[in-house]
């Protein structure tokens, strides 16, 4: 980022962060708890995802289509997949995809390991506290995505207040968190979700999540260059 941003560039950056914050918030909610009728309708009716990446746009469109006119039976089936993949409910031999960074980065595939301690420190340094109503550990994917959404909000606040240095700090923090945490484990996690879901919403969610995080890393790098 260059110093003394023009009003037009600042507005473009605000829009960039607003769009990204919206996606991170949506993704966080998808991994936080089972789909319900209200959120399914909200997601299906959300604005389309605009991107030069055709595959990303198609993956997002598939997510919206999966939730369009979602009835009670479909919601129940989504809950079955959610509980089986993310909480291991169901047959012991079924594919699992536990959404914790520690599970994918620790030697024994255990929860509450080094990654958990590392993100706790990052959150403390940023004065971020997860939703107290969400009882899963802080290295859960939903929390890490919510943290990215918060950093987007902080960058927007800084830009609107004319604090270009502060905005750059928040954008740089996002890139660092992406590289040191989310991108450190999302690819193998996404593969496991695809195997567990086999088809439908959660398969498309895994595809979009992995692709979006990779694209966002590139976009942030270009903005900060």
**According to the model, what pLDDT value does residue 93 have?**
84
Q: Provide the whole-model pTM.
A: 0.96
Q: Is 219 a domain residue?
A: yes
Residue 214 reports pLDDT greater than 80: yes
The per-residue pLDDT for 52 is 85
C-alpha angle 99-104-109 in degrees, rounded to nearest 5? 105
Number of domains making up the chain: 1
Tell me whether residue 83 is in a domain: yes
Q: What pLDDT is recorded for position 151?
A: 98
- At residue 23, the pLDDT reads 96
The enclosing domain of 11 has a CATH number of 1.10.3480.10
For residue 2, being part of any structural domain is answered with: no
Compute the average pLDDT of residues 60-71.
Answer: 94
To the nearest whole number, what is the mean pLDDT of the chain? 94
The reply to whether 172 falls in a domain is yes
Query: pLDDT tens-digit profile of 100-147?
Result: 999 999 999 999 999 999 999 999 999 999 999 999 999 999 999 999
| 65 domain residue, yes or no | yes
Beta bridge partners of 100: 140
Instruction: Give mean pLDDT, residues 166-180.
Output: 98
Alpha-carbon dihedral of residues 85, 91, 94, 96, nearest 10 degrees?
A: 30
> Which alpha helices (H) appear in 33-105, and where do they start and end?
37-44, 54-67, 72-87, 101-105
Q: Using the Cα atoms of residue 159, residue 27, residue 69 and residue 37 in order, give the sign of their dihedral.
A: negative
Query: 76 is in which domain, residue-wise?
Result: 7-224
- Does residue 209 belong to any structural domain of this protein? yes
How many helices (H) and strands (E) in the chain?
Answer: 10, 0
């Amino acid at each position: 980022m260059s110093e003394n941003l023009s009003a037009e560039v600042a507005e473009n950056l605000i829009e960039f962060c607003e769009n990204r914050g919206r996606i991170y918030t949506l993704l966080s909610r998808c991994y936080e708890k089972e789909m319900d009728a209200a959120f399914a309708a909200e997601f299906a009716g959300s604005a389309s995802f605009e991107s030069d990446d055709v595959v990303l746009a198609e993956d997002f469109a598939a997510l919206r289509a999966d939730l369009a006119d979602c009835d009670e039976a479909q919601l129940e089936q989504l809950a079955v997949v959610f509980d089986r993949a993310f909480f291991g409910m169901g047959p012991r031999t079924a594919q699992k995809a536990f959404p914790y960074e520690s599970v994918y980065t620790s030697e024994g595939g255990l929860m509450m390991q080094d990654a958990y301690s590392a993100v706790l420190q990052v959150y403390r340094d940023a004065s971020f506290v997860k939703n107290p109503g969400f009882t899963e550990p802080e290295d859960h994917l939903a929390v890490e995505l919510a943290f990215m959404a918060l950093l987007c909000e902080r960058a927007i606040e800084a830009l609107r207040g004319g604090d270009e240095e502060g905005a750059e700090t928040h954008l740089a923090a996002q890139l660092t968190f992406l590289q040191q945490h989310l991108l450190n484990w999302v690819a193998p996690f996404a593969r496991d979700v695809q195997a567990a879901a086999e088809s439908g919403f959660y398969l498309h969610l895994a595809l979009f999540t992995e692709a979006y995080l990779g694209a966002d890393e590139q976009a942030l790098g270009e903005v900060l260059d």
